[in-house]
Structure 1
Amino acid sequence: MKPRPRRLAPLLAAGCAGAAVWAAFPPVGAWWAAPLGLAVLASVLRARGPWAGAGLGLVFGLALFTPLLHFTAVAMGNPVGWAALTAVESFYLAAFGAAWALVGRIRRLERPGGAAVLARILAFTVLWCGVEEVRSSWPWGGFPFGRLAFAMADAPMLPFAAYGGAAGLTALVACAGGALAETAHALRRRRGLDALLAASLAGLVVFAPVLAPVDGSAQDGTLRVGAVQGNVAEEFEDAFNRALEVTGNHAEATLVLADDVGWGTLDVVIWPENAADLDPRDFSASAALVDSAARAVGAPVLVGAISYADNVRYNDMLVWSPGQGAGEYYRKHRPVPFAEYVPLREQLRHLSGQVDRIGTDLEPGTGPQTLTVHAAVQDRDVKLAMGICFEVAYEDTLRDGVEQGGELIVIPTNNASFLHSSEAEQQLAQGRVQAVIHGRALVQVSTVGVTAVINPRGVVEQRTQPYTQAALVADVPLRTSVTVADRLGALPGLALEGSAALLAVAGMVSGVSRLRRRRRLRRA
């Protein structure tokens, strides 16, 4: 039996690898830690069997997702949902570990030489991306938090997102990680040419994309936007129960904004998700506050409100025109499972009463992924691509809005329930990557922060501090062109999923063949 320290070393290495990848995301934001963490994972999985690979992948996943998803415990006030979500997400990486253990032992991939080095790097990249694509889309729409692409907001490879989307950007990170692992392995085996080849590839995929052109100029003029962060008391649940307090905060901040910039100088004012704690379409007192703010600033106001009907609820962003009231609205298309609605409620109730914390399920909206506003100063209609809160993590949702004519992406969100956790900064990083993917400026507006203006190159031009009452004013570029990433759509992700599945099957077939050969040798 191996000494205990030697048996624990692979587990410790896998845990450190997961922690390194976590450090690539906000709040740490050390993007370069992601390829290093993947390199350690690839190294520790080398020559392992599928069960050992699954165990090491699970440890890696737990080390990554436990701190990354801690904001769910903050929101719920207990660790039940945090533990469940962390476990589910980690099982995907257990599957990756098992699959890579099988694929990495395909005989053609075990050979020395430059061709085998490149093949192993490509296989590692494809397999990682395929698992990430599945995790980000299934079940119930998936959970894209933790996509490697979303850790690359400050990385030199970010411009590639305009060409390969989130899947392509993740592929560069995975490729760099696989290449670093091959570099270390070749150096240990004193194969200098193989090490040089792998290291050169790692450097190429990390730094070459900085040269890729990303156009951020206005193509249809600009839109003068006011983004209002009204703030909410940190005892947020009580604040939302105090009727009209949240609406009053945003109305007050809008009046201050009107005094600062003057009446009739803004095209549109954007309030965040849930800014109206009582729906102004149903409550006259709420309507009066919203209308007074719209009249003071002399521009339409986008207002977040929850609508109830037939024992369900909807998450809306509606256009409120001064003196005219509510008009067009966007209704959130992708509610978050177990946060806004509960799948399999009756079955899960036997496991935990926490499912009934959500008393009324949020239903998905229908209709376009855009919202049209009449720009007050310019006297013309402008289409906005909309995504509410966690929809910023779903590339296909925002793509729909762009393809339907959205010239600017707007992300109203309510981060109040996450307090001072990393959730708001993670969303901001996601917005930065999405701005590049879709070639659009992006305005994120939060009740408590972070409210920010992001240009089409993914650069934050303005932002607020959390838990402050503030407003931003910006002339944001309106754009009409479609990026390569949006033209390709879901194709890169589907290709990676299919290729990963084929690789996994090839690995299983190879494993069965290897087992049969061993049995024949034993019999002989």
Structure 2
Amino acid sequence: MTVTATSVDESAPPQSRIAPGWRAARLARLLPALAAALSGVLLYVSFPPRTVWWLALPAFAVLGGVLRGRGWKAGLGLGYLFGLGFLLPLLVWTGVEVGPGPWLALVAIEALFVALVGAGIAAVSRLPGWPVWAAAVWIAGEAARARVPFHGFPWGKIAFGQADGVFLPLAAVGGTPVLGFGVVLCGFGLYEAVRSAARGRRTRAVRRSAAAVALLSVTVPVAGALAARSLVSDAAEDGHTTVAVIQGNVPRSGLEFNAQRRAVLDYHARETERLAAEVDAGRIARPDFVLWPENSSDIDPFVYADARAVIDRAAKAVGVPISVGGVVERDGKLYNEQILWDPVKGPTQTYDKRQIQPFGEYLPLRSLIGAINSDWTSMVRQDFSRGTEPGVFTMGSAKVGLVTCYEAAFDWAVRSEVTDGAQLISVPSNNATFDRSEMTYQQLAMSRVRAVEHSRTVTVPVTSGVSAIIMPDGRITGKTGMFVPGHLVQKVPLRSSETPATRLGVLPEMLLLLVAAGGLGWAITVRVRGRRAGEV
């Protein structure tokens, strides 16, 4: 027998003598982390203003592949990387004008929720029918993010990326939780289908149970969405109304526009008077009412006679009621308020924003934040107070529910207006602070989802754009550009029937939370029993 010796160059540096197999093993250990982060980026790309909603499916398929069979600690880290990949680009608009500090802090906190979800998905991934349990765990994470801290931050719910997708009708079945659950379940089912097919090619045998789970996880959400299309309609149940949406524009973008409050008010009054002139000339139909954006009058018209006169003149010119977005001080408290302004009677009804924005309209932990950076506290010198009652204005023959800007992200804030009798929803907003960022399009997509969820026409008057009119089936039938003055006038349907999502309210979300809790409880029980069996 001949033995061949392999010589080693002892003079070579140690790193050059590292075995190629060791390098490959090290790279293999990094691949899951890289895949988790990149799949988070893929999920971000599926969100507006892009219309590639379907990318959410491979994003969750990759996440399922990364997490399946791992321990909860690995799931925690990989989930955090997925959260960073998703939320860092999605929420970059929060750093416009104030710098990266608040943006990075927000993302770091919100990604912790995704990390916990990752740990939960890893825990349930060994259970039979794991895509169902895992999708429910994701929705449980969204439910938590929508409530804590500081009354929650639901931005980035999976449902809000699906305004152009085939799953959208699921919103009418059970709101954003059911829509999001369907998308995530389909994504995890897609991974399970690929895994089962790959195993079948290797072993020439396919486990029927795994194949059935994969098939049902993919097909049931799609079939459910197709069946739910019968719930989506733009037919008029209570006749039609002609609505006008005013976009007055602002002198310039950014936070400094608040120093030019009178100019903003004048711009919206001027655009309304321009609309009135077109009506008088017979070029367009006279609207039944007019909707102004949030912050269209940052000068309190109940205190300052000149602001009151400007609004009164615009209302008289157009000859119909106007909903005016104002900043009002009452009993020493500041309110973000919608004011129903009649051309004859003046202000007759108000709605105070209930879901106010932390760090935008009020400052939690003011003393701590001031110690870190005094500039941040100067941006919110006085906290806004919360309203307590839903706002439904009777405008002409229509009952209009008011959902002010940030409130559109919260399920309860929109539903309360519909259950209080709203036949049409208005989402007056002020996005000028965020310049031309994706925030405007992300928020517009939320309004499209809300239209389908509650089967209502939704109007979106915005100071600087994009203002829009959305049909009850989620279609945008009119919109403006950004940072231009303009108005939209359209005859829209009024509806009063309630979708299953409206009637059920929070119940579908609670049921999915119970599913998540059941899956986690089962996984923990299996793990404990396995340890005890190993000790015997």
Alignment correspondent of 1:222: 240
- In the TM superposition, 1:309-458 aligns within 5 A as 309-353=330-374, 354-373=376-395, 375=396, 380=397, 382-458=398-474
- In the TM superposition, 1:78-89 aligns within 5 A as 78-89=99-110
Alignment correspondent of 2:120: 99
Contact 2:261/2:297 (<8 A) preserved: no
Alignment correspondent of 1:49: 71
Q: Which moved more, 1:27-36 or 1:17-26?
A: 27-36
Note the C-alpha offset of 1:483: 0.7
Match for 1:70 among 88, 92, 98? 92
- In the TM superposition, 1:153-192 aligns within 5 A as 153-190=163-200, 191-192=205-206
Contact 1:157/1:206 (<8 A) preserved: yes
Note the C-alpha offset of 1:207: 5.5
Q: Which moved more, 1:353-362 or 1:282-291?
A: 353-362
Alignment correspondent of 1:10: 32
Note the C-alpha offset of 1:181: 1.2
- Structure 2 CA distance for aligned equivalents of residues 505 and 347 of structure 1: 38
TM-score by length of 2: 0.90
Gaps of 5+ in 1: 110-115
- How has the CA–CA distance of structure 1 residues 456 and 41 changed in structure 2, closer, same or farther, with 3 Å as cutoff? same
2:26 aligned partner, one-letter code: R
- Structure 1 CA distance for aligned equivalents of residues 313 and 355 of structure 2: 32
> Is residue 2:161 matched to residue 1:151?
yes
Note the C-alpha offset of 1:349: 3.8
SS at match of 1:3: helix
Note the C-alpha offset of 1:125: 1.5
SS at match of 1:158: coil
- In the TM superposition, 1:134-145 aligns within 5 A as 134-145=144-155
- Structure 2 CA distance for aligned equivalents of residues 504 and 517 of structure 1: 20
- Structure 2 CA distance for aligned equivalents of residues 337 and 281 of structure 1: 26
Percent of aligned positions that are identical: 36
Alignment correspondent of 2:520: 504
> Is residue 2:35 matched to residue 1:25?
no
Alignment correspondent of 2:503: 487
Alignment correspondent of 2:277: 259
1:73 aligned partner, one-letter code: G
Note the C-alpha offset of 1:506: 2.9
Alignment correspondent of 2:250: 232
Note the C-alpha offset of 1:499: 2.4
Q: Over residues 391-442 of structure 1, what are the superposed CA-to-partner deviations in whole Å (9 max), with x where a residue is unaligned?
A: 1111211111111111100110000001011111011100000011111100
Note the C-alpha offset of 1:243: 4.3
Contact 1:158/1:210 (<8 A) preserved: no
Contact 2:399/2:421 (<8 A) preserved: yes
Q: Over residues 274-298 of structure 1, what are the superposed CA-to-partner deviations in whole Å (9 max), with x where a residue is unaligned?
A: 0013122211111121111111111
SS at match of 1:421: coil
- How has the CA–CA distance of structure 1 residues 96 and 46 changed in structure 2, closer, same or farther, with 3 Å as cutoff? same
Alignment correspondent of 1:113: none
Match for 1:121 among 131, 135, 152? 131
Note the C-alpha offset of 1:30: 1.2
Contact 2:251/2:263 (<8 A) preserved: no
Q: Which moved more, 1:159-168 or 1:182-191?
A: 182-191
Note the C-alpha offset of 1:240: 2.5
- How has the CA–CA distance of structure 1 residues 91 and 236 changed in structure 2, closer, same or farther, with 3 Å as cutoff? closer
Contact 2:170/2:224 (<8 A) preserved: no
Contact 1:266/1:298 (<8 A) preserved: no
- Structure 2 CA distance for aligned equivalents of residues 344 and 215 of structure 1: 45
Contact 1:311/1:360 (<8 A) preserved: no
Q: Which moved more, 1:134-143 or 1:422-431?
A: 134-143
Note the C-alpha offset of 1:14: 0.3
Q: How many residues are treated as equivalent by the alignment?
A: 502
Note the C-alpha offset of 1:478: 1.0
Note the C-alpha offset of 1:148: 0.6
Contact 2:424/2:494 (<8 A) preserved: yes
1:171 aligned partner, one-letter code: F
> Is residue 2:355 matched to residue 1:308?
no
2:506 aligned partner, one-letter code: A
Contact 2:95/2:101 (<8 A) preserved: yes
SS at match of 2:408: helix
- Structure 2 CA distance for aligned equivalents of residues 149 and 238 of structure 1: 33
TM-score by length of 1: 0.92
1:57 aligned partner, one-letter code: G
Note the C-alpha offset of 1:464: 0.7
Q: Over residues 298-350 of structure 1, what are the superposed CA-to-partner deviations in whole Å (9 max), with x where a residue is unaligned?
A: 11111101112455310001011124321201110110122211223334444
- How has the CA–CA distance of structure 1 residues 142 and 226 changed in structure 2, closer, same or farther, with 3 Å as cutoff? same
Note the C-alpha offset of 1:196: 7.0
Contact 1:369/1:398 (<8 A) preserved: no
- Structure 1 CA distance for aligned equivalents of residues 391 and 347 of structure 2: 18
- Structure 1 CA distance for aligned equivalents of residues 116 and 533 of structure 2: 25
- How has the CA–CA distance of structure 1 residues 30 and 7 changed in structure 2, closer, same or farther, with 3 Å as cutoff? same
Contact 1:307/1:313 (<8 A) preserved: yes
2:263 aligned partner, one-letter code: E
- Structure 2 CA distance for aligned equivalents of residues 337 and 94 of structure 1: 23
- Structure 1 CA distance for aligned equivalents of residues 256 and 152 of structure 2: 31
Note the C-alpha offset of 1:19: 0.7
- Structure 2 CA distance for aligned equivalents of residues 274 and 460 of structure 1: 24
1:302 aligned partner, one-letter code: S
Contact 2:247/2:293 (<8 A) preserved: yes
- How has the CA–CA distance of structure 1 residues 247 and 136 changed in structure 2, closer, same or farther, with 3 Å as cutoff? same
- Structure 2 CA distance for aligned equivalents of residues 143 and 206 of structure 1: 28
- Structure 2 CA distance for aligned equivalents of residues 265 and 211 of structure 1: 39
Q: Over residues 129-169 of structure 1, what are the superposed CA-to-partner deviations in whole Å (9 max), with x where a residue is unaligned?
A: 11111212223321111111111101111112111211110
> Is residue 2:299 matched to residue 1:281?
no
User: Rg larger in 1 or in 2?
Assistant: 2
Q: Over residues 344-375 of structure 1, what are the superposed CA-to-partner deviations in whole Å (9 max), with x where a residue is unaligned?
A: 333444444324431111111122332222x1
Contact 1:328/1:372 (<8 A) preserved: no
2:265 aligned partner, one-letter code: T
Contact 2:154/2:409 (<8 A) preserved: yes
Match for 1:205 among 201, 221, 229? 221
Alignment correspondent of 2:60: 38
Q: Over residues 72-119 of structure 1, what are the superposed CA-to-partner deviations in whole Å (9 max), with x where a residue is unaligned?
A: 101x421121111111110011001111222223xxx2xxxxxx3xx1
